[in-house]
């Protein structure tokens, strides 16, 4: 109920009267413990839920056309089953949470083919061996990861590490040698 009041106050401050006029919404630092139902905002593109106390994500009520999602500085442990329908995301900030399970996290984001910027630092997954290369491999459209530009050299290395057989075949084709 408190979230509904926060939304109402935010819209009134901006002078917005109709839900269809909402394309950005900030619910940052509102002490939220869960994601409120925002399905009425069909044209919502940018959502700020950072600096809250959110533990679990249940973002099924979010518009699938969302392009920016700010969830940093919360207590989120997993994003599994919560974000894969947000296929238009270009930016997601998830740093400073409690996210574990690199493989599950990447599996959740694999359908988001336009994702260009993501942050996962200050999460347990960012300390897993080969973390950066694994993320680059799983999210091929990523251009900025944890505030650092993804270099073409890193992409090649990630491809080599995660597609060793395919890389070997490509190398032999490139130099007109037969793969053994």
On average, the pLDDT of the chain sits at: 87
Query: How many angstroms separate the CA atoms of 46 and 32, rounded?
Result: 17
Domain that holds residue 21: 2-149
In a domain, 154, yes or no: no
Closest CA to 66 of 35, 50, 90: 90
In a domain, 143, yes or no: yes
Query: How many angstroms separate the CA atoms of 151 and 8, rounded?
Result: 43
CA distances from 47 to 28, 130, 140, 145 (A): 9, 30, 24, 20
* 81 secondary structure, DSSP code: T
Query: How many angstroms separate the CA atoms of 89 and 68, rounded?
Result: 6
> Which domain CATH number covers 77?
3.80.10.10
Average pLDDT estimate for 83-97: 95
Residue 122 has pLDDT above 90, yes or no: yes
In a domain, 48, yes or no: yes
Give just the sign of the alpha carbon dihedral 112, 26, 102, 85.
negative
pLDDT tens digits along 163-179: 645 444 545 555 555 55
Q: How many domains does the chain have?
A: 1
In a domain, 140, yes or no: yes
Residue 5 has pLDDT above 60, yes or no: yes
- Band of residue 19 on the pLDDT scale cut at 50, 70, 90: confident
């Amino acid at each position: 109920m408190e979230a509904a009041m926060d939304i109402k106050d935010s819209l009134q401050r901006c002078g917005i009267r109709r839900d269809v006029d909402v394309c950005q919404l900030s619910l940052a630092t509102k002490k939220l413990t869960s994601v409120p139902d925002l399905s009425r905002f069909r044209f919502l593109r940018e959502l700020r839920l950072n600096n809250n106390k959110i533990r679990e994500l249940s973002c099924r009520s979010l518009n699938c056309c969302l392009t920016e999602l700010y969830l940093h500085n919360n207590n989120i442990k997993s994003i599994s089953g919560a974000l894969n329908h947000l296929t238009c995301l270009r930016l997601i900030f998830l740093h400073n949470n409690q996210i574990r399970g690199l493989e599950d996290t990447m599996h959740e984001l694999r359908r988001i083919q336009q994702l260009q910027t993501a942050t996962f630092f200050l999460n347990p997954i960012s300390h897993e061996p080969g973390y950066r290369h694994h993320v680059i491999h799983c999210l091929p459209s990523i251009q900025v990861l944890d505030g650092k530009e993804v270099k073409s050299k890193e992409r090649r290395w990630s491809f080599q590490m995660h597609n060793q057989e395919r890389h070997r075949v490509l190398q032999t084709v490139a130099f007109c040698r037969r793969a053994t």
